Amino acid sequence: MLSGLLIVLLPLFLGYLVRVRSTRLLNLINRAVSGSVYLILLFMGVSLAGLENLGSQLSRLGGNALLLFTITTLFNLAALWWLSRRVRLSASGSPVVKDAPTSKLAAMQGSLMLVGVVAAGVTAGLLLGPMVGETLFTTADWLAEWVLYLLLVLIGCQLRNSGMPLKQILLNRLGLAIAVTLALSSLLAGLAAAPLLSLSWNEGLAMASGFGWYSLSAILIGDQLGPLMGGVAFFNDLSRELLAFILIPLVIHRHTALAIGYGGATSMDFTLPVIQQHGGVACVPIAVVSGFILSLLSPPLILFFLSLSG
């Protein structure tokens, strides 16, 4: 049980030990992370194509993802609304951020591209499956597993070299409070959703521990619970980001903590320009700290909860 957890956490830990001072190398690592994510999602799509009764399985995937997303959203919004009424945090207007997306569609482009990669994998699996046979799907699973190990090393390296010292995290109490509130409410949602999804309690917790990091949650869940549940995790966390793009401009001036927190792990990257554009520069360090904490928590929590199934 724990040996499987250690095997997967080891690459993450080894990557975290690597200190990179070269900006050029860091950029290369960032590109390698993106490339690895695309590869694994492509392989996940191929594996999905290998499921029996694909049509009904995809229908089940969509229904489960919608159910998990709805429950998680309700828990998150209720908890963050409660927090936003108890902390002194207000947004201020600011000019458009340089290089920030100028429309919601532009902001969501990267997210939608990942959906396209999964769809491309499914299409490739459906086209090549009859010719290659079961070997195609077993090879896709094998390749996805090894690319996953590489990805975890790179993510560990990213986290170590993110420029976010522990002191800065601990001193930013608002960012810490938002992250803890989002994490706890998500885990409660996972417990509530587990019986409805025919999952064990620990699998429900694992499904809820992505905190919006859809590329990683899909990969880790899919590796342990199969491509179907990996797809559920992917679309659950992806939907969080898509809703965040819509929600942030609407509520950030009235419920700033809610707007910052709902994006989860994406508050430090994908949704950060939207937060700054509509909430002002004062929101940026809070969003970065909150997103960073959730990004740091997500992989070990998912792996830990999944390891309890052994």
pLDDT for res 103: 53
pLDDT-derived band at 303, boundaries 50, 70, 90: confident
Q: How confident is the model at residue 200 (pLDDT cuts 50, 70, 90)?
A: very high
| 283 vs 92: CA distance, rounded Å | 9
Q: What is the 3-state secondary structure (H, E, C) of the chain?
A: CHHHHHHHHHHHHHHHCCCCCCHHHHHHHHHHHHHHHHHHHHHHHHHHHCCCCHHHHHHHHHHHHHHHHHHHHHHHHHHHHHHHCCCCCCCCCCCCCCCCCCCHHHHCHHHHHHHHHHHHHHHHHHHHHHHHCHHHHHHHHHHHHHHHHHHHHHHHHHHHCCCCCHHHHHHCHHHHHHHHHHHHHHHHHHHHHCHHHCCCHHHHHHHHHHCCCHHHHHHHHHHHHCHHHHHHHHHHHHHHHHHHHHHHHHHCCCCHHHHHHHCHHHHHCCCHHHHHHHHCCCHHHHHHHHHHHHHHHHHHHHHHHHHCCC
pLDDT-derived band at 106, boundaries 50, 70, 90:
low
As a residue count, the chain comes to 310
pLDDT at 33 over 90: no
pLDDT band at 227 (very low <50, low <70, confident <90, very high): confident
pLDDT at 282 > cutoff 70: yes
Position 43 scores a pLDDT of 85
pLDDT value of residue 88: 74
Do 126 and 294 contact (CB within 8 A), yes or no?
no
Q: Mind listing the pLDDT tens digit for each residue in 117-170?
A: 888 988 998 888 888 888 888 888 888 878 878 887 887 787 777 666 656 666
Q: Angle 194-216-228 (CA atoms, 0-180°, nearest 5)?
A: 50
What is the separation, in whole angstroms, between the first and last Cα of the chain?
5
List pLDDT tens digits, range 63-101.
999 999 999 999 999 999 999 888 877 666 544 444 445
pTM of the complete model:
0.76
Per-residue tokens: 10: 């080891």
Average pLDDT, rounded, for the chain = 82
The domain total for the chain is 1
Contacts of 104 (CB under 8 A, 6+ apart): 245, 246
* Confidence category of residue 250, pLDDT binned at 50, 70, 90: confident
Range of the domain at 147: 2-307
User: Measuring CA to CA, which residue among 81, 73, 80, 58 is closest to residue 190?
Assistant: 73
CA distance 213 to 209: 9
pLDDT (0 to 100) of residue 8: 61
- CB atoms under 10 Å from CB of 42, counted, come to 22
